[in-house]
């Protein structure tokens, strides 16, 4: 699972790289004092036109042997991941940044600088793409009761069944209810199929780029309602146009029982190349 490319010193300090920014933007505006946490200081390692946003970390902590255990430690992992995100958010307030994935550690400053200079062209291209932009997340949740009520207003069959169910008695009332529930369920199924395209198309019209992410399970989303959409968008840093489009979309689908949730601004995790090109 862990592939060391060199024999590691087991002790001492290495460099944890959070992301890469342009030296002229970052150095002037960030200066010193970007603290990742009480114990961790963030430093800007400048190399040519780029700076690496990095912290000294214990090589022991990120050691190949220890890492599987560490990664199984939810407390450790949450703290590290939140630090990673927090540092990049602080940078994002002042400068565009290409975020690295979790766990990017260099043995020494020489290796970190060599990366910044050797992959400088690809890094600058990635930086150009996200300059002046941020990532936002949009999630949509469906409230079943409100969905049924909304559909009843649009769907003659549902309206008719509701009327019949409300006047019917005994066993017939039960059967009408069942038919109504089944009809609402199939409507919801159909809506779910359309929702992705509908929401994504509307939001893409106000974004530079965007993509659909996998849905989150309820135990992760933290909401009881079912998630029907999860997307990420690259938008201008002021977000004005995008938030207008989001507001108008939210009003249009509220009657369908759909609520939108906006997250961010995030560093553009979803809009940087996974692996830097050969250039």
Partner 1 sequence: MSSRELDDYRSGQPAQLADVLERVLDKGIVIAGDIQINLLDIELLTVKIRLLIASADKARELGIDWWEGDAFLSKGNGHGELEQRLRKLEEAAGLPTSEQQESSD
Note the residues at the interface with partner 1 (CB under 8 A): 1-6, 8, 14, 17, 19, 59, 62, 64, 67-69, 71-74, 77-78, 81-82, 84-85, 98-107, 111, 114-115, 119, 126, 137, 213-214, 216-217, 219-222, 243-244, 246-248, 250, 260-263, 266-267, 269-270, 272-276
Q: Residues near 146 by Cβ (< 8 Å), separated by ≥ 6?
A: 255, 256, 257
Question: Residue 186 CB, nearest distance to partner 1 (Å)?
Answer: 27
Which residue, 105 or 142, has its beta carbon nearer to partner 1? Answer: 105
Which residue, 30 or 59, has its beta carbon nearer to partner 1? Answer: 59
Which residue, 59 or 184, has its beta carbon nearer to partner 1? Answer: 59
The closest alpha carbon to 41, from 29, 50, 52, 33, belongs to 33
Phi/psi for 230 (5° steps) reads -145, 120
Q: Which residue has the tokens 């933290």?
A: 222
CA 204 to CA 89: how far, in whole Å? Answer: 24
Question: Residue 201 CB, nearest distance to partner 1 (Å)?
Answer: 19
Which residue, 164 or 255, has its beta carbon nearer to partner 1? Answer: 255
Which residue, 72 or 169, has its beta carbon nearer to partner 1? Answer: 72
Question: Residue 255 CB, nearest distance to partner 1 (Å)?
Answer: 15
Question: Residue 264 CB, nearest distance to partner 1 (Å)?
Answer: 8
Question: Residue 187 CB, nearest distance to partner 1 (Å)?
Answer: 25
Enclosing H/E stretch for 24: helix 23-30
Helix axes 109-118, 120-130, angle to 10 degrees: 70
The closest alpha carbon to 15, from 44, 53, 54, 41, belongs to 54
Which residue, 29 or 114, has its beta carbon nearer to partner 1? Answer: 114
Question: Residue 62 CB, nearest distance to partner 1 (Å)?
Answer: 6
Pairing label, strands 50-58, 258-266: unpaired
Burial of 204 (0-12, 13-18, 19+ CB in 10 A): middle
Tokens coding 217: 């399970």
């Amino acid at each position: 699972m862990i592939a060391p490319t060199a024999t590691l010193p087991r002790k001492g300090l290495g460099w944890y790289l959070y992301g890469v920014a342009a030296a002229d933007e970052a150095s002037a505006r960030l200066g010193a004092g970007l603290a990742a946490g009480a114990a961790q200081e963030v430093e800007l390692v400048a190399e040519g036109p780029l700076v690496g946003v990095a912290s000294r970390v214990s090589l022991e902590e990120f050691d190949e042997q220890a890492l599987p255990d560490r990664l199984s430690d939810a407390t450790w992992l949450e703290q590290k991941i939140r630090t990673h995100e927090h540092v990049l958010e602080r940078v994002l307030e002042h400068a565009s940044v290409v975020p690295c994935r979790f766990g990017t550690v260099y043995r020494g400053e020489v290796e970190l600088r060599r990366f910044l200079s050797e992959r400088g062209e690809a890094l600058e291209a990635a930086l150009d793409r996200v300059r002046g932009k941020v990532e936002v997340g949009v999630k949509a949740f469906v409230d079943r009761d409100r969905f049924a009520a909304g559909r009843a207003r649009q769907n003659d069959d549902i309206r008719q069944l509701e009327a019949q169910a409300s006047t019917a008695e005994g066993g017939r009332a039960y059967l009408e209810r069942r038919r109504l529930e089944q009809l609402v369920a199939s409507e919801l199924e159909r809506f779910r199929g359309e929702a992705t395209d509908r929401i994504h198309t509307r939001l893409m019209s106000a974004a530079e780029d965007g993509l659909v992410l996998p849905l989150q399970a309820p135990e992760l989303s933290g909401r009881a309602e079912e998630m029907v959409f999860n997307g990420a968008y690259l938008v201008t840093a002021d977000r004005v146009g995008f938030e207008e489009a989001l507001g108008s979309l939210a009003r249009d689908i509220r009657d369908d029982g759909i609520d939108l949730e906006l997250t961010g601004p995030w560093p553009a995790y979803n809009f940087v190349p996974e692996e830097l090109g050969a250039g």
